[in-house]
């Protein structure tokens, strides 16, 4: 079964507070995520994983005349969190996806304290047969 694990970061001042972390704290968090990805890959569970740029770099695209892209930078819904990154994992049970999400949630933050960042877990749907 495939699951998407979505990391929701606190919005703060418009972007994730990582910009205010010291360089060693950022390196520790990135190394933790890299190690998690290597472990998932070695178990055959990692399909894909990516970090995303801050909301300020996001764009809304709609089809315009003749399907031309009409691109705007909003409006975006006011939220306290934003999607910071995701994993797509392929594992046997939802419980295993929850275990992976808990490991990702506990990545180190400032001072090495686990972030306990929320990870939304959803099954990847498939078309009707």
pLDDT in tens, 13-48: 556 678 788 999 999 999 999 999 999 999 999 999
Task: Dump pLDDT digits (tens) for 84-122.
Answer: 999 999 999 999 999 999 999 999 999 999 999 999 999
The pLDDT, as a whole number, for residue 19 is 77
Tell me: cis bond preceding 76? Omega within 30 of 0 counts: no
Task: Dump pLDDT digits (tens) for 5-15.
Answer: 999 887 765 56
Q: How far is CA 2 from the centre of its chain?
A: 16
How does residue 124 score in pLDDT terms, banded at 50, 70 and 90? very high
**Cα 86 to Cα 93: distance, rounded to the nearest angstrom:** 18
**Cα 18 to Cα 82: distance, rounded to the nearest angstrom:** 13
Which CATH code fits 2-123?
A: 3.30.70.1060
Q: Domain coordinates of the chain in residue numbers?
A: 2-123
Asked if residue 117 lies in contact with residue 103, where contact means CB atoms within 8 angstroms, the answer is no
The pTM (predicted TM-score) of the whole model is: 0.86
What is the DSSP-derived secondary structure letter of residue 32?
H
The pLDDT, as a whole number, for residue 114 is 94
């Amino acid at each position: 079964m495939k699951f998407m694990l979505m990391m929701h970061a606190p919005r703060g001042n418009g972007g994730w507070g990582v910009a205010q972390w010291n360089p060693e704290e950022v390196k520790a968090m990135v190394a933790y995520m890299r190690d998690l990805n290597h472990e998932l890959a070695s178990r055959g569970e990692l399909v894909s994983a990516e970090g995303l740029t801050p909301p300020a770099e996001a764009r809304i695209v709609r089809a315009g005349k003749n399907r031309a892209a009409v691109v705007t930078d909003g409006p975006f819904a006011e939220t306290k969190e934003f999607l910071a990154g995701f994993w797509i994992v392929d594992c046997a049970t939802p419980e295993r996806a929850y275990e992976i999400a808990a490991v990702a949630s506990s990545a180190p933050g400032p001072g090495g304290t686990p972030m306990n960042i929320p990870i939304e877990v959803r099954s990847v749907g498939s078309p009707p047969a």
